[in-house]
Structure 1
């Protein structure tokens, strides 16, 4: 993980699927868990989804709130 990845969670949107155009930080935990079971995409998007799953699973989503205000 790079420090700028946290900022990207609140600026990058999901490019496809059921939650297309929703911020990665706003994706439901169940959707992130589904990706974990099925396999994350093998690119930068996959890395962001995996990071968001970790934050969500560990109750750390509030850490992103200050980044949203930038």
Structure 2
């Protein structure tokens, strides 16, 4: 199996968990993963942002993360 086949297989794997990040303005950002451990790792990084003023790359506006949840799909 070459690297491209391995990458394609990982991308095609079914996603079972979703990390949902909620912003103060009401926007949400989601990240889907196939394993709970992956979701927990992503959520750790997102939880570090809670309560901080961040700049949204797409608009340049200041946003604030208020919560992070892991959901099963």
TM-score, normalization by structure 1: 0.28
Q: Which of the two has greater strand per residue? A: 2
Q: Which of the two has greater helix per residue? A: 1
TM-score, normalization by structure 2: 0.27
